[in-house]
Structure 1
Amino acid sequence: MSVSDPVSRRIKRRSRGDVQTLVLALLAGSVAVAVLTPLLWVLNSARSVPLDRFFDILFRRTTLDIFLNTVVLVVAVTALSVLIGVPLAVLTAQTDLPFRRLFTVLAALPLVVPSYIGAFAFVSAFGPRGELADALAPLGVEQIPSIYGLVGSVIVLTLFTYPYVFLTTRASLLSIDGRTVEAARTLNHTRLGAFRRVTLPQLKPGIAAGALLVALYTLSDFGTPAIMQFDVFTRIIYVRTTARQVDFASIFSILLVVLTVVILLAESRIERGGETSAYVNRGTDRPGVVRLGRWRWVATLFPLAVASLALALPPAILFTWLGRSTPELAGAAVDFRWEFTWNSVTASALAAGASVLAALPLAYLSARGDGRLSSLPERASYVGYAVPGVVVGFGLLSVALNATPFLYGSLAVLVFAYVVRFLPQAVGTTRSSILQVDPQLLEAARTLGKPPLVAFRKVVLPLVMPGIVAGAALVFLTSMKELAATLLLRPFGFETLVTYIWQVQEAAAYGQAAVPALVLIGISALSMLVILGRERYDVKE
C-alpha cells in the first residue's frame, strides 16, 4: 500500500463531508424559506398600502400605545417566567425537596392548559361577577380589584408559559458535570457561590432558550389579551383582519416581525455570552443534592402555590360550568362528538412528526456549523413562531388559492401552518441536545471510515433522541391548542376540540365548552407525561 493511499482516503472523506455539509445547508435553507412563506402575504399587503396611508397608521398615538402595551406585556411575562421557572428547576433537580418527582410533573403541567382557557377561568373566578365576588358579597365587599387589562394578562400568560423556562433550565441542570461544582467547593466556595460562579453560567443557554419561547409565545398570543380586554398587536390584528382592514393588519404584523427580530438578537447576545463558560458534558456524575435542612418542607409552599393557581383553578371552574344550564347554540350547531378529539390528535401528531424532520437540519447546522451564517436558517424559523396564527392562516389561504389550489381546504395546509408556528420548539430542544454531545465522538466515528450521515445516525442521533422527543411533544401540545390558524385552515367539515370550544364560547354556552376543554387538557397532560417519563431520576439521595 502506497503512502498516498491514506492521504487519498482522507481527501475523499473530506470531499464527501463538504458535499454533505452543502446539502445540509441547502436543506436547512429550504426549510427556512418554506416557513417564511406566510410572510409574503404580509409584505405584499403592506406594499399595496399607499405611502401616506402607511405613515398615517404607523405614527398614530394608538399605534404607539399598542406598541408599548405589547413590549411591556412581553417583558413582564418573560421576567416573571424566569423568576418562577429557574427556582422550580433548581428545587426539583438539585435539592432534597419532598415529593420531588411529583413537583416536577406539577411544575411542567401548566403547559398543557391553553392560555385562553386559563383566561376564561380567571375571569370567571376573579372577574367583577366571578366566583370570588359572589363569595365576598355577603361579607359586605361590593367591589374587588379588576382582573382585566395588563395585570390579568401578565398573570395568566406567566402561569401557563413559565414551564418553557422550567423545562429547558432543568434539562441543563441534569446535564451539568458534577466535577466542576465539586472543584469549586474544594476552593472554599459556598453552595451559593459555586452556583453563581459555576452552575449559573452553564445554565444561561437553557434559560435563554426557555425565555425566548416565552417571549415569542406572549408576542403571538391573541386569545388571552382579547379575553382580558388588553390592546396589544395580536388582538388588534385579529380585530382588523376580521373587519377586512388589511392595511392595519399588515402594518401591525410587520411591527410584530420587527419585535421578533429584536427578541432574537437579544437572546443571541445572551447565548453568546454564555458560550465561553459552557461545558460539554462527557457523561460524568451530576452534582450532589443540596440539603435544605429545616427549610425542606417550607420550600414546598412555592411549587404548591404555583400548581394551585395554574392547575387546580381552571379544572375547578370547568367543573362548575358542567353544572350550569346554558342556552342552545344559535343555528342548532352540532353537539360535541368524540370525532373532534380524533381530528385534533391526528393533525397535531402529523405536525409533530413533520416539525421534527424539519428541525434536524436546522438544529444541527446551527450547533455544529462554522460562522454566523450557519445559524441564519435556524433564526429565520423563529419568525413564524411570533407571527399570529391568524396572519399565518390568511397567508397560507392566499398561497393555497393563488399558487396551489389543489391543496386548498386540505389537511396538509393546516399541518403546514402548525409547522410554521411551532417549529422553533423542536429546533430549540434538538439544538440544546446536540450542543451537549461531545463533537469528538462524531470525529472518532468518521476516523473509522464512517460517512458523516452514518456517523450521525449511529452516534449522535441516539444521544439527542430525548431532545427530539421533547420537541415533538411540545409541538404536539401547542398544535392541539392552536386556535386562529385552525379556525381558518381546517378542511371542510373538519371540526376539532379548539374550534368547537371557540364556537360555544362565542355563544356563551359555557356548559357545552366544559367537556371538550377538559378532554383537551387531559390529552395534553398525557403527552407532557411522556416527556417527563423519559427523564432518569438518578439524583443522589
Structure 2
Amino acid sequence: MTATAANTRAAGRPAGGRGKRPRPPLVVVVLSVLIALFALIPLGYVVDMTVSAGWDDISRLIFRPRVGELLGNTVALVLITVPLCLILGVGGAWLVERTSLAGHKAWSILLAAPLAIPAFVNSYAWVSAIPSLHGVFSGVLISTLSYFPLVYIPVAATLSRLDPSLEQSGASLGLGAWRVFFRVVLPQLRLAMAGGALLVSLHLLAEYGAFAMVRFDTFTTAIYEQFQSTFNGTAANMLASVLVFCCLLLLLAETRARGRARYERLGSGVQSAPTRLKLRLYHLPAQLGLLALTLLAFGLPLFFVCRWLIAGGPSIWVRSELLPSLLQTLGYGLAGAAVTTVLAFPLALLAVRYPGWPSRALESVNYISSSMPGIVVALAFVTITVHSLPAIYQSAAVVVAAYVLLFMPRSLVNLRAGLAQAPRELDEAAQALGKPPFVAFLKVTLRLSAPAAAGGAALVFLGIVNELTATLLLSPNGTHTLATEFWALSSEIDYAGAAPYALLMILLSAPMTYLLFAQSKKAAGQ
C-alpha cells in the first residue's frame, strides 16, 4: 500500500480500523447543516411555487404548445451538442496524449483556451461574422465551440494518468490501434466523459446570453422574457420548474452513466511512458483539424473583438462605466470567491475527515442546487427578498449569496482534494505538542490545504466574472459589471462599445482557465 493510501485510510478511520469513529466537532456539523439548508432555497422555491399554483394553472401553463416548442429546442440542443463535444474533446485529448502529434504540448493548452471566452462573447463574435445567424444550428455551433473544453480537460487528464501497460497488453494480444482504443482506452474514460457531458448539458440549460443573441429560444431565454414582461409571474415559475426537472434528470442520467465500475490503479511505482501512435499519413489532417477547431473556437472571437476595438477607436476606452465595471467585477469576484471558499471548508472537512452518509447527503445538496440555472436561483432570491426580506432586495449581499450557491462545488471539489493530503494525524501531533485544536487547524490543516483553497477560489472567481443572468436580475441599481455592461451594449447593437468589456473578460478569464488546466494535470500526477 502506498503512503498516500495509508494516509487516506488513517484520515478516514482510526488506526487499525477498530474502535468508534471519531465524532466531528459540533461547530462543523452545525455550519454544514446550515449551509445545506441555505443551498436548498432554490429547490424549495421551485417546489413551493409549483404546489401553490394548483393543478389547473400547472396544466394550463405547462401542457401548452409553447412549452413543447421550448422542450423540443432544448432536447435537440442537448442531443446534438453533447455528442459533438464528446467527439471533439475525446479526439483532441487522444491526439495530444497518445499520438506523435507535433507540438502536442502547445496543442494541449490551445484546446483548453476557448474556455476563457464566455459563450455570449463567442455568440457576439459569430453574429458579427454572420449577422443572419439564428436558430438551432447557431445554438449548436456556438455551444459546441464554447463547451467542448469541458470534456477535453478531464479526458486529457485521465489519459495522462492512464497506465500505458493496459494498452500495451491489448496490443500484445493482437489488437490493432483502433480496437485498443475502443476496447481498452475508451472504457477507462467513462467517468471523465460522463462528468464532462454533464457539465456541458447543465451549461446548455443555463445559458442565456449566447442563445438570446442568435434568437434561439430555450427555457432560460423564455423565463427571462416572461420575468421582464410580468414580474415574477406564474408562467415564469412553471417554466422554471420544468427546467429544474430537466436538470435533475441530467444528474440522474450522469449517475447511471458512471455505473459502479472501479478505475483505480493500485500499487506504487512509476508508470511506464506511453507509446505514442505514429500518425503517418494522418498527421497533416490532424494538424489542420486542430488548427481549424482552435481558429473557430478561439481565434475568430478574439479577431472580432479586436476588430471592433479598432473600429471603435480610442473613444470606446474612455466610457465612464468602463472602470467602475472592472472594479465592481473584481469586487464581486473577490468577495464571492472568498465567501464561497470559507463556507466550503466545513463541508469539505466533514466529507474528508468524517465520511459517511450524513456528510455525503450534506455535500450532495450543494451539487444539486448548483446544477440549477442562474436564472432559477435568481428568481428564488427575488421572490424571497421581495416578500420576506425587502430590506435586502437588490443588495450586494444577495448577489454574493447567489454566487455562493451557483459556484460552491468549484471550491468544494478542490478543498476535498487539498484536505485529503493533510491527514488528521498531523493535527493530533500538533495538539500533542501543546497547540489548541483551533491553532493546530490553522497552522497545519489550513496551511497544507491553502493551495487547493486558492485554486478553488480562482475557479469561483472565473465563474463570477462570466456570470450574466443572476447578476442581471439581482444586482442593485447602478451596478455595472463587465458582463452586464457588455450585454447592455451588445443588445443595443453597439458592438464597438461592447468590445472593451469583452476583452477585459477574456483577459481576466485566461489565467483562471490555465489554472484549471494545470490543476487537472497536477491531479493526474503530471
Which TM-score tier does this pair reach, normalised by the shorter chain? 0.7 to 0.9
Query: 1:241–1:162: structure 2 CA closer, same or farther, 3 Å change rule?
Result: same
Q: How does 1:449-528 map to 2 (within 5 A)?
A: 470-528=455-513
- Alignment check: 8 A CA contact 2:399 2:470 kept: yes
Show the counterpart of 1:84: 88
CA distance in 1, matches of 2:511, 2:394: 30
Q: Secondary structure at the match of 2:336?
A: helix
The reply on whether 1:108 has 2:112 as its aligned counterpart is yes
Show the counterpart of 1:49: 53
The reply on whether 1:125 has 2:129 as its aligned counterpart is yes
Query: 1:281–1:148: structure 2 CA closer, same or farther, 3 Å change rule?
Result: farther
- Among 189, 194, 197, the alignment partner of 1:203 is 189
Show the counterpart of 2:7: none
CA distances 1:234-259 after superposition (whole Å, capped 9, x unpaired): 11111111112611111111111111
Q: Secondary structure at the match of 1:19?
A: coil
CA distance in 1, matches of 2:386, 2:455: 35
Runs of 5+ unmatched residues, structure 1? 1-8, 129-146
- Among 296, 320, 323, the alignment partner of 1:309 is 296
- Among 232, 238, 249, the alignment partner of 1:262 is 249
- Among 25, 30, 35, the alignment partner of 1:31 is 35
Displacement of 1:222 in angstroms is 1.5
AA in 2 matched with 1:199: V
CA distances 1:206-227 after superposition (whole Å, capped 9, x unpaired): 2222111111111111212212
Show the counterpart of 2:229: 243
- Alignment check: 8 A CA contact 1:208 1:270 kept: yes
The alignment's TM-score, normalised by the length of structure 2, stands at 0.82
CA distance in 2, matches of 1:455, 1:205: 33
Displacement of 1:233 in angstroms is 0.9
CA distance in 1, matches of 2:81, 2:155: 17
AA in 2 matched with 1:161: Y
CA distance in 2, matches of 1:281, 1:354: 39
Show the counterpart of 2:146: 160
CA distance in 2, matches of 1:32, 1:191: 48
CA distances 1:165-209 after superposition (whole Å, capped 9, x unpaired): 111112222333344444545555544444444433332222222
Higher mean C-alpha displacement, 246-255 vs 68-77: 68-77
Give percent identity, aligned residues only: 29
Displacement of 1:515 in angstroms is 1.0
The alignment's TM-score, normalised by the length of structure 1, stands at 0.80
Show the counterpart of 2:397: 412
Q: How does 1:118-517 map to 2 (within 5 A)?
A: 118-128=122-132, 147-244=133-230, 246-274=233-261, 276-279=262-265, 282=268, 284-285=270-271, 287-294=273-280, 295-324=282-311, 335-359=320-344, 362=347, 375-404=360-389, 407-427=392-412, 433=417, 470-517=455-502
- Alignment check: 8 A CA contact 2:116 2:506 kept: yes
Displacement of 1:398 in angstroms is 3.4
Displacement of 1:157 in angstroms is 0.8
AA in 1 matched with 2:458: A
CA distance in 2, matches of 1:394, 1:508: 27
Displacement of 1:100 in angstroms is 1.8
- Alignment check: 8 A CA contact 1:446 1:455 kept: yes
Displacement of 1:353 in angstroms is 3.5
AA in 2 matched with 1:389: G
Q: Secondary structure at the match of 1:296?
A: helix
Equivalenced residues, count? 504
Displacement of 1:472 in angstroms is 3.5
CA distance in 1, matches of 2:134, 2:268: 49
CA distance in 2, matches of 1:284, 1:456: 34
CA distance in 1, matches of 2:26, 2:190: 31
CA distance in 2, matches of 1:111, 1:263: 22
CA distances 1:422-446 after superposition (whole Å, capped 9, x unpaired): 2234445666x589x79xx969989
CA distances 1:54-102 after superposition (whole Å, capped 9, x unpaired): 2111211221221122122122222211111111122223333222222
Show the counterpart of 1:68: 72
CA distance in 2, matches of 1:230, 1:102: 35
CA distance in 2, matches of 1:110, 1:103: 12
- Alignment check: 8 A CA contact 2:353 2:424 kept: no
Query: 1:460–1:319: structure 2 CA closer, same or farther, 3 Å change rule?
Result: closer
Higher mean C-alpha displacement, 152-161 vs 241-250: 241-250
Query: 1:204–1:448: structure 2 CA closer, same or farther, 3 Å change rule?
Result: farther
CA distance in 2, matches of 1:371, 1:338: 48
CA distances 1:345-397 after superposition (whole Å, capped 9, x unpaired): 22123323433444456567668987766544444323333433233223223
Displacement of 1:339 in angstroms is 3.0
Displacement of 1:525 in angstroms is 1.0
CA distance in 2, matches of 1:491, 1:115: 24
CA distance in 1, matches of 2:332, 2:17: 44
